[in-house]
A = this chain, B = another copy of it.
Amino acid sequence: MFKKVLISEDLGSISNGIVSILEALHIDNFQQVQYCDDAYLKIKRAEIDEHPFDLLITDLSYKEDHRQQKYQSGETLIKALKQEYPNLKIIAYSVEDRPQKIRTVMLGCNADAFVCKGRNGLKQLEEAIFKVYNGQTYLSPQVANVLRKSSNTEIDDFDIEIMKLLANGFSQDEISQHFKSKNINPSSLSAIEKRILKLRSSFSAKNATQLISIAKDLGLI
């Protein structure tokens, strides 16, 4: 079983819940931090000292406070750590249950498991720890299907970028200018229009406003 575990979670009481799971598994070598940056530093330090952590359990969203952070979210932390220390196993433990978010964390950041906080969250976390220890990935049952169903979304970064710009009040023409200035193709007004039309139809949105409303609800932007 895992020998050395780090818990990164800003809410003390949830942290305690995780600790109780670890204790039940007789993992007593663990540490806790409340900030992403602390997690990063502790893991780096442990690697240098040649007593590395072999599991990180981390939240995704952290309340901001006075302390300026380099890593603002669990996603950026996970991505950075997985690049530097591919052997470190990482479990995301979050209230998030939006498909796109989970895809980002599992596929974009390469987390090993995604457990949704909820009534059975701790039990699922325990399962996740076993699975991950055996080299498998794990998803909470209620979201287990989001990766398999590539289903709808051939929505790429370009689409996301367009929607972000729309949400920031850019006109279609301004979006076109924006991509032209960054030498990103396609960039013509027509192409932008077409892209937005495709997005609207795939989300059955009557206009750009509703499109952005839906995209926000889905956590795409």
Q: Which of B95, B97, B169, B206 makes the CB contact (< 8 A) with A206?
A: B169
Would you call A17 an interface residue if the criterion is a C-beta within 8 Å of the partner chain's C-beta atoms? yes
Please state if A121 and B169 are interface contacts (CB–CB under 8 Å): no
The residue in A13, A171, A210, A212 that gathers the most chain B C-beta atoms within 10 A of its C-beta is A13
> In this complex, what residue of B is CB-closest to A207?
B169
Q: Mark A207-221, 1 if CB is under 8 A from B, else 0.
A: 111101100110000
Q: How many copies does the complex hold?
A: 2
Would you call A14 an interface residue if the criterion is a C-beta within 8 Å of the partner chain's C-beta atoms? yes
Total residues of chain A contacting the partner, CB 8 A: 37
Would you call A129 an interface residue if the criterion is a C-beta within 8 Å of the partner chain's C-beta atoms? no
Would you call A189 an interface residue if the criterion is a C-beta within 8 Å of the partner chain's C-beta atoms? no
Please state if A122 and B13 are interface contacts (CB–CB under 8 Å): yes
Q: Mark A178-221, 1 if CB is under 8 A from B, else 0.
A: 00000000000000000000000000011111101100110000
CB under 8 Å from chain B, chain A span 141-199: 166-171
* A16 proximity list for chain B (CB < 8 A): 13, 16-17
Q: Which of B18, B208, B210 makes the CB contact (< 8 A) with A168?
A: B210
Would you call A72 an interface residue if the criterion is a C-beta within 8 Å of the partner chain's C-beta atoms? no
Q: Which of B97, B169, B210 makes the CB contact (< 8 A) with A205?
A: B169
